[in-house]
Amino acid sequence: MRYFKKTVAQPAQAGTGIIIAGLCVAYTNINTNLTPSEMASQVAIATGVALALSVWFDSRKGLQNLFRVDIVCLISLYYLTLVEFLFPQEDFNTLLTSEQTAQGLYVTLMGIGGIALGRHINFLKPEPKLWSYLGNLPDKVLFRLFIISTVLAYIYILMAVDFNVLKVFEAWLGPRFAVPWARGRLGDWRALLSELKLFSYVIPPLAGIIWNRRQSFRSWQIFLVMVIFAITLFEGFAGGTRNVLGSYFAAFLGGYFLTLKRPNLFNLAIPTAILGYAMMFATRHMLGFRNMGIRRYLETGAYAVEQAKESFAVDYNLNAISIIVDAFPQKFDFLGFELLYVFASKPIPRALWPGKPEGLSISIEEVTSAAGWTVSTTYIGEAYMMGGAITVILMSISIGMLASWWTRTAAFQHTGYGVVINALGFFTGALSMRSIAFFTTSILPILALIFFAKVMPFFLGIKGSRYHLSR
């Protein structure tokens, strides 16, 4: 089968060299005589400057060279671990000792460096196989796919409120764990339907692609797409889970950037700046209202307290990483492949596998002494729990390799349907930085869209053999 290949986006070696140099400067200048926040601040500045310069070097090959999953991974990881230390964080000094902070910073820098190096290892072939090639699907299926994804994503929510849309918005304004469609810790047969919520991740990249190709659609279709996209963003915001909202933004930008015909500073910088500001705004407030709900957050004036804070904080993931590095293997044995086994089983509903693992033998919350809430350590903390620093390095290199491979597959995708699947890789990359567990679930929409196109084309409104592949 003959493929038509586009220009391949790839990192510049000079840019990667700058990242490694910046990480080395940050690594060697970590001083335990400083306070934890001062140490983290120095590392955040050096690493941030290195990443910015690397992106600039990549842009010299053309702005389209920035449309890469590895960049999303690096920026997401920096955002989750270090960006908050560009601002004063005096409260952080009460959480850790300087020695613990230094250990966490060392491992974090190893992770960033591993991704930067791994993206240059390209032995995986990007050329799509027969089962994954989607160059024969017309753009007219995009709107139908958008509606199908919307229905599948929200059908369980609507069923939980007897299709009363007002109750859905009322629930979104309340505490996130009090919604009528909330599932139990272990799940049941209804979890089979709730898993369809994953199709909400298809909505943002489709919205970006349809907007760029709006001349191919009717005005009412464009209007409906933008309304549903706005509702999806509000749902992500109201849920209080920042990595979900950030992944919506990443997936939208992925679809938007990959289908720009004439990228320039104007149509790249403006949407990036708007969504970047929106994410910063959301990060400040989502942690404040996610337990009490937006309605009470506004009624009690709690938003004014958050707005008045001079500092900016994300999640203090560095705190959890440092505690884990300090605890393994001194207090706990490494988990080995147990963590991968448990996380790989997450997409399988318990209704189909009653004996599915309930969790890790040693939970992250147990290690960090967190009672009553969940703790995120990013994939770096999880990898360290598996096997220490060497596992962090190997997993980071693997992530860089996979990100580079997925970016290179975009060179073979020309239709909107193929691009939306490729754009979902941006969402997967962003989520995977938060936790390895998200990787196994975030790839499900990708597999589902390939399944629809190859096995059930009639589901997309494609009839006859015109759009089937020839042998």
| pLDDT tops 60 at residue 80 | yes
Say which residues have a Cβ less than 8 Å from residue 110's Cβ, sequence separation at least 6.
Answer: 389, 392, 393, 396
| pLDDT tops 70 at residue 140 | yes
- Report the number of distinct structural domains present in the chain: 1
Structure tokens at 201: 């991740």
Inside any domain, residue 94? no
Cα separation, 257 vs 315, in Å, equals: 28
State pLDDT tens for residues 54-76: 999 998 888 778 888 999 999 99
Which of 249-253, 368-372, 382-386 has the lowest average pLDDT?
Answer: 368-372
| pLDDT tops 90 at residue 303 | no
Inside any domain, residue 10? no
Which of 104-113, 220-229, 231-240, 304-313 has the lowest average pLDDT?
Answer: 304-313
Inside any domain, residue 104? no
Q: Percent of the chain scored above 90 by pLDDT?
A: 33
Contact by Cβ (8 Å): 235, 264: no
Cα separation, 165 vs 157, in Å, equals: 9
Inside any domain, residue 400? yes
Q: What's the confidence (pLDDT) of residue 466? A: 47
More confident residue, 139 or 56: 56
What is the average pLDDT across 248-252?
A: 87
Structure tokens at 152: 């599948």
Q: What's the confidence (pLDDT) of residue 287? A: 75
Q: What's the confidence (pLDDT) of residue 254? A: 82
State pLDDT tens for residues 197-220: 888 888 998 999 899 888 888 899
- Angstrom CA distances, 37 to 54, 72, 87, stand at 25, 26, 9
Q: What's the confidence (pLDDT) of residue 239? A: 83
Residue among 407, 456, 42, 424 nearest 203 (CA): 424
Q: How far is CA 207 from the centre of its chain?
A: 17
State pLDDT tens for residues 381-418: 999 999 999 999 999 999 999 999 888 877 666 677 77
Inside any domain, residue 430? yes
393-398 contacts: CB < 8 A, separation 24 or more? 393/110, 393/111, 393/114, 394/114, 395/114, 395/436, 396/110, 396/111, 396/112, 396/113, 396/114, 396/115, 396/118, 397/114, 397/115, 397/117, 397/118, 397/121, 398/118
Q: What's the confidence (pLDDT) of residue 127? A: 62
Q: What's the confidence (pLDDT) of residue 101? A: 95
Torsion 428-444-436-181 (CA) sign: positive
| pLDDT tops 50 at residue 469 | no
184 pLDDT band, cuts 50/70/90, is: low
53 pLDDT band, cuts 50/70/90, is: very high
Residue 309 domain boundaries: 134-471
Inside any domain, residue 203? yes
| pLDDT tops 80 at residue 316 | yes
Q: Percent of the chain scored above 70 by pLDDT?
A: 87
Inside any domain, residue 268? yes
- Angstrom CA distances, 209 to 53, 139, 142, 198, 252, stand at 29, 10, 9, 19, 8
Q: Residue 133: which region, alpha, beta or left (left: phi > 0; alpha: psi -120 to 50)?
A: beta
4 pLDDT band, cuts 50/70/90, is: very low
Cα separation, 427 vs 243, in Å, equals: 10
Which of 166-170, 397-401, 423-427 has the lowest average pLDDT?
Answer: 423-427
More confident residue, 64 or 165: 165
Q: What's the confidence (pLDDT) of residue 465? A: 44
Inside any domain, residue 2? no
Residue among 364, 361, 362 nearest 380 (CA): 364
Q: What's the confidence (pLDDT) of residue 193? A: 66
Cα separation, 308 vs 62, in Å, equals: 41
| pLDDT tops 90 at residue 272 | no
Most confident stretch, 21-30, 158-167, 330-339 = 21-30
Cα separation, 251 vs 5, in Å, equals: 23
Which of 77-86, 155-164, 350-359 has the lowest average pLDDT?
Answer: 350-359
